[in-house]
Structure 1
Amino acid sequence: MKQDKVEKLFFNRELSWLRFNTRVLNEASNEKIPLLERLKFIAIYGTNLDEFYMVRVAGLKRLYLAGITDCGADKLTPREQLAEIRKYIHKEKKFLEQLFEEILNKAQKEYLFIKKFNDLNNEQKKYLREFFLNNLYPIIVPIMVDSTHPFPHLNNLSFGMAIKLKDTLNKNKIKFGMVRISRMLPRFIEVNEEIYIPIEMVVGEFIDYVFEGCEVLSYTSFRVTRNADMEIEEEEADDFIEIMAEGLKARKKGEVVRLEVGNTNDESLIEFITGHIKIDEEDIYRYSIPLNLSALWQIIGSNRFAHLRLPSFNSRILPPLSSVIDIFKSIDSSDIALFHPYESFDPVVNFIQSAANDPDVYSIRMTLYRVGKNSPIVKALTYAAENNKQVTVLVELKARFDEENNLYWAKALETAGAHVIYGIPGLKVHAKIALVIKKIGNSFRKYVHLSTGNYNPVTAKIYTDISYFTSNENIANDAIRLFHTLSTGYANKAKLDSLFVAPTQIKPKLLELIKEESKKGSDGYIILKANAVVDVDIIEALYDASKAGVKIDMIVRGICCLIPKLSNISENIRVISIVGKYLEHARIYYFKNSNPQIYFASADLMPRNLEKRVEIMTPVTNKNIADKLFGILKLQIEDNTQSHELQSNGEYIKLTPKDTNAINSQEEYEKYVNLMYSALLKTQDSKDKKLVKRMMGEN
């Protein structure tokens, strides 16, 4: 009986994530946004699903093979979860295909076509023949699979074609082969400025040029997904860098966990593939639309169709910052908080570049998790190290799918003379912190930057995150202590005085804050904004708070294992998810009766973040900044355009305005920042004034 009760108190993590990805896909059906914005959500959906299979499904398969039967608070076994996942995705596949075709049909009215080869005229077909001979024929790799030519190894996310052939000399002899299509080639071939053709249709039409002596009977495209979750046995490695490099190679050879197949009526082609790839029938997905949806960015990003995208928002630099002001003097005057991407990421880059160029700066210390390619921040750190500044950088080599890029930057920094810390054994370092120490007169002045997001100028344009600059002495001393523990490898035992660090302090502090709010009963109020809520202890504490009468608003973008609106358990808890133009990535936690009331963090409410990573949670003691963050939370709670509200059955209902008072929190914040930037406060209409007052924490 007790077990049944427990099962009903938690949603399954994987199924909750699938519902998040469905919310992403549903945005592609939003007719209020331009066509390529709709296509963008299909591309994001596909990319998300790739990673889900590479990591989550692959992990469940390993648990199942290991005989594990209990792996979560919801008590679903790995086998049951796999069955539910497959059922869900197969069912959703039909909706995906219909939605894709609907968008393409509407795109034709805008003179954008993704066509099939047979839909082209003779002149266009002739052009593609020449294109194939000049641009594809030299690059593609044909393989005849027989007793002397074995089926090749296919790397993770390999894209290719299975070919059925007939020997022209012995017409009774059927053969099978394949063509490997390089990732360096475009996914779609441009016939002209309006027409795109999937590359497999071009290759398939002229494949006779490749398999000479054979007649092509049929072909289909296919794509394999492998287990890409590296397990690094750090304690047994003499050289962590070397074993990470080996792990990256192993990722390409992980077991196949999914097979995607293009549209074909010839079952023998699928039998040919599955005869050489070990795969469960339930993990074979047959699509009538092009495979590799993430490749749609080739079309989405085309400048010639810019009118089919939303206009880009110009991030602003607001007072007290500007491009000409000394950033260190600005921080000396007051703590500064930025809300990206509405407020520009340039001041963060400027902070590190200024430190690198300032002759009075002695030391720069940073954590780097996902920095991206051509990083101006890493270049500034390299310059600083080459010019004899003390540069210490922790580069997290275990940042999933960024390992190779991070390994490259780590070696470059080390070559420049920086002290590079290659992660911490047993923990991922997910904290976002930078510390600059500058000599002013006869003393040292310390400057700290803390963030909910990565030091990546590219993602900072599409992820919403909080950035915080301070020269507070207590926070700076905590930063020094934290970097010392990172350098010595004892971050798992670190405890700070002003900041809170995981794995030792954040979870206990959050549980304490929730418990204290519970004591206030109906006068209590909690707002939690996070990417995911999974931790059982946190969820149970929130249930207890709800039972005590505390009102709880949760803004959870992705996974939420907490069940809201349960009678006598969570009836005071409301959960919404916002999916829109930007990826909601900030973590902000508010407790009405706490002092301070507002905290922001690099950590989500998940066991891996709270117990298995180095994370930072920052209390906001500055009233103006606290008001700013509270204004963000309140605006998002009022969103009735891009919000989806979680129901007790696990489904999400998209909210719609009941009157003319439609609130899109992302658009509203763009408008607010533009108003502040334009200094038009005196000439605003009443609605604009109300928005500005609300965002400044006024009633």
Structure 2
Amino acid sequence: MTESQASHTTKEGASIYFNRDLSWIEFNWRVLEEAQDPSTPLLERMKFLSIVSSNLDEFMSVRVAGVKDQMKAGYTKKDFTGFTPAGLFRRIMKRTARLVAEQYKSYRDICRQLAKEGIVFVDYNGLNQSQKKAMDAYYHDIIFPVLTPMAVDQSRPFPLVHTQSVYLAVVLEREGQTSEDEPYFAIVQVPSNLSRIIPVPARANSKKQEFILIEELIKEHIQSLFSGYTPIAAHTFRLTRNADLTLNEEGAEDLLEEIEKELRRRRWGAPVRLEVQEDMHPYALTQLQDEFEIDEHVFMINGPVDLTFFMKLAGQIRGFDHLRYPSIDPVYPAEFKDSEDFFEVLRQKDVLVYHPYESFDAVTDFIEQAANDSQVLAIKMTLYRVSGNSPLISALAHAAESGKQVTVVVELKARFDEERNIAWARKLEKSGCHVVYGLVGLKTHAKITLVVRQEQDMLRRYVHVGTGNYNDSTARLYTDIGLFTCHPVIGEDASALFNEITGYSAPHNWQAIAVAPTNLKDALISLIHREAEHARAGRPARIIGKMNSLSNQQMVDELYAASQAGVNIDLIVRGVCCLRPGLEGISDRITVRSIVDRFLEHSRIYYFENGGHPEVFISSADWMTRNLSRRIELLFPVFDQRLQRILIQILQLSLEDNVKARRMLPSGLYEPIQVEDGTMHRSQFEAMNIKQWKKLLK
């Protein structure tokens, strides 16, 4: 470690680390850039705008909530990036407010462009008489019966406001009331079980599609909820609460029941953020601030509160295909296409699949074949995030009902998917599966399936391991890698892994894989050290790391040390990155780039040059403290050199991207990559030709 690393500052006195939360805000700016990019199809820009909102919701309810908890506890110690909780909170809120203002500026621009295309958002006064009649009927028949006005006065305390639900704050007066009398106040929840955006009947001889927000209809008819009172103002607001689960797992007799209780408690989480319509009545704003104890950092919104509805709307609009990305049809992996027997194929060779360019159906078919195969004795699988109607659950249930030993490790603590996973756990248990909820204090984030099959006079183990979840829905939206193998050493390690999770096995002496929290971090550090030794000896030394986030201080320091030893390091980090590249004498040999494009970059691939004998790994783990020390994660070697070449090609496509890639500067900001020779490279679009470039690499 150099003197500057020991002091955590550069020669100029700046920190050599970039703060995790501020780095996340920079990532969300890159998402917003996709919503602003004129080359992005208009309906896809709507989706990116929605993603900015959903990202902010999670960030506020988890990360910012944690910072506020530290402040409340009087914690004043600086983190390794040099920030106290109070100082960090001020910067987060300032930068987030700037991001939100720019987001709504983009919203207004997108709405203007949509109107030119014939997709129009209207307010009630912009409707003609026949449209008003139709919307009045919709309000009285559909909306009005489910509305509940909730008054706030001496006899009726402030009602519970649910996190991230849209409400109306209503200020009222009675006849004979003077200007000195205090107004009346009430809130109305906008029904979340009705569509937020309502199609308006088309005008005569018009091809335009018009929509109105449900809260605009409620505002227009607000008098119907308060007979005898005169509404002065009705404005929307939205509260975000602390949504982090705090569990005493060791004291919980039944983890499933404890999490169900904690989910109910989440409704009362401490307020973190208040969003209000920009022109909200001052009396209403005061009432909300007093109730939620939020004196400052209120987000004034110039537009609809909560833009996550844009995601559904983009899919709801019919036609307008020219405003969308061209649809892609994932190819079925060629290795499995010519044979209906997965086991026969895998006895001959390992198979690598690259989602979403190759179909996730191959994973589903593998599990279903195992469930239906009379020679299969056991299926063991981890489930972290599963889709709403997962065919995998049905296959596992069928396997158990037909007498196979089926063990499923269900992660109940997968944030915001807890309720869905509880439902799956109960269904699997009813079908006869052994359901395990993992180890105390650790999330099971590994994605692995083990199939044990009787073949002649031996048992053979088949393994699927992936960088992404067993989720057929997200597999169409995320880039992920999956590996199928029956390599005997990997099979033995996989068996040992499940025994350790489900039983009392002592930590295994892993032969091929590395497992967090026991040895994965040490394995990575050992690989980085080996590259540094190669560099010092004058041998080829290079590291390429593709991951979602890099925030663990020790991993950053190890990369700094490797750079100083002469290792060339290229990092492809989609989101948070606490490492500052290009610092003189510290990270001169390190580059960092981020790609935000049509699909969410989610695969973790790690390449080590190893003096001319490259090794390539896939992993479920990012280089974050939680992944390396508080989760069960896997690092898997890819032995087959043919498959290694495919992974290297995927990395190379990312490194050559000069359309959607952004290069990180030493300041922590990002800049577009200049096109030097006039040749444009867009990695995700080039990856769609997977058949062609896979053939070339055989």
TM range (shorter): over 0.9
CA 1:327–1:8 in 2, change beyond 3 Å: closer, same or farther? same
Q: CA deviation at 1:655?
A: 2.1
Structure 2 gaps, min length 5: 203-208
Native 8 Å contact 1:596 1:621 kept in 2? no
Partner of 2:146, secondary structure, is coil
Aligned partner of 1:50 in structure 2 is: 57
Aligned partner of 1:663 in structure 2 is: 681
Q: CA deviation at 1:119?
A: 2.4
Aligned partner of 2:251 in structure 1 is: 236
Aligned-partner Cα distance in 1 for 2:311–2:121: 13
Native 8 Å contact 1:494 1:501 kept in 2? no
Aligned partner of 2:225 in structure 1 is: 210
Aligned partner of 2:522 in structure 1 is: 508
Native 8 Å contact 2:445 2:633 kept in 1? yes
Q: CA deviation at 1:518?
A: 1.0
| 1:468 partnered with 2:483 | yes
Native 8 Å contact 2:438 2:502 kept in 1? no
Task: Normalising by structure 1, report the TM-score.
Answer: 0.94
Q: CA deviation at 1:263?
A: 3.1
Aligned partner of 2:390 in structure 1 is: 375
Aligned-partner Cα distance in 2 for 1:632–1:575: 16
Return 463-472 or 119-128, whichever deviates more: 119-128
Native 8 Å contact 2:8 2:17 kept in 1? no
Aligned-partner Cα distance in 2 for 1:643–1:281: 36
- Same amino acid, percent of matched pairs: 39
Aligned-partner Cα distance in 2 for 1:434–1:163: 54
Native 8 Å contact 1:495 1:504 kept in 2? no
Aligned partner of 1:295 in structure 2 is: 309
Aligned partner of 2:193 in structure 1 is: 184
Instruction: Give the one of 252, 262, 285 matched to 1:270.
Output: 285
CA 1:265–1:503 in 2, change beyond 3 Å: closer, same or farther? closer
1:452-475 alpha-carbon deviations (Å, 9 max, x no partner): 000000000011111000011110
Instruction: Give the one of 435, 447, 463 matched to 1:448.
Output: 463
Return 300-309 or 385-394, whichever deviates more: 300-309
Native 8 Å contact 1:596 1:620 kept in 2? no
Aligned partner of 1:602 in structure 2 is: 620
Instruction: Give the one of 578, 584, 595 matched to 2:595.
Output: 578
Instruction: Give the one of 68, 71, 74 matched to 1:67.
Output: 74
Aligned-partner Cα distance in 2 for 1:274–1:477: 59
Structure 1 gaps, min length 5: 677-690
CA 1:44–1:489 in 2, change beyond 3 Å: closer, same or farther? farther
1:260-306 alpha-carbon deviations (Å, 9 max, x no partner): 11232521221122232222411x10111111211112211124144
Aligned partner of 2:435 in structure 1 is: 420
1:192-341 equivalence runs, <5 A: 192=201, 194-282=209-297, 284-307=298-321, 308-322=323-337, 325-341=340-356
| 1:637 partnered with 2:652 | no
1:238-273 alpha-carbon deviations (Å, 9 max, x no partner): 221111111111111100101111232521221122
Runs of 4+ displaced beyond 3 Å: 1-4, 168-173
Aligned-partner Cα distance in 2 for 1:317–1:561: 38
Partner of 2:17, secondary structure, is coil
Partner of 1:397, secondary structure, is coil
Aligned-partner Cα distance in 2 for 1:372–1:318: 22
Aligned-partner Cα distance in 1 for 2:28–2:505: 37
1:89-134 alpha-carbon deviations (Å, 9 max, x no partner): 1122221121111111011111001122222233322222111111
Aligned partner of 2:672 in structure 1 is: 654
**Letter in structure 1 aligned against 2:318:** R
Aligned partner of 2:534 in structure 1 is: 520
CA 1:394–1:323 in 2, change beyond 3 Å: closer, same or farther? farther
1:648-685 alpha-carbon deviations (Å, 9 max, x no partner): 01110022424431000000011x22x54xxxxxxxxx
**Letter in structure 1 aligned against 2:239:** V
**Letter in structure 1 aligned against 2:359:** S
Instruction: Give the one of 9, 20, 36 matched to 1:5.
Output: 9
Q: CA deviation at 1:156?
A: 1.5
Aligned-partner Cα distance in 2 for 1:656–1:39: 27
1:518-541 alpha-carbon deviations (Å, 9 max, x no partner): 122263111000000111111111
Aligned-partner Cα distance in 2 for 1:692–1:470: 18
| 1:356 partnered with 2:371 | yes
Partner of 2:236, secondary structure, is strand
Native 8 Å contact 1:495 1:505 kept in 2? no
Aligned partner of 1:696 in structure 2 is: 697
**Letter in structure 1 aligned against 2:29:** T
Q: CA deviation at 1:516?
A: 1.0
Aligned-partner Cα distance in 1 for 2:17–2:509: 31
Return 252-261 or 316-325, whichever deviates more: 316-325
Partner of 2:16, secondary structure, is coil
CA RMSD of aligned residues (A): 1.7
Return 323-332 or 435-444, whichever deviates more: 323-332
Native 8 Å contact 2:330 2:356 kept in 1? yes
Task: Normalising by structure 2, report the TM-score.
Answer: 0.94
Partner of 1:630, secondary structure, is helix
CA 1:324–1:333 in 2, change beyond 3 Å: closer, same or farther? closer
Native 8 Å contact 1:639 1:665 kept in 2? yes
Partner of 1:5, secondary structure, is coil
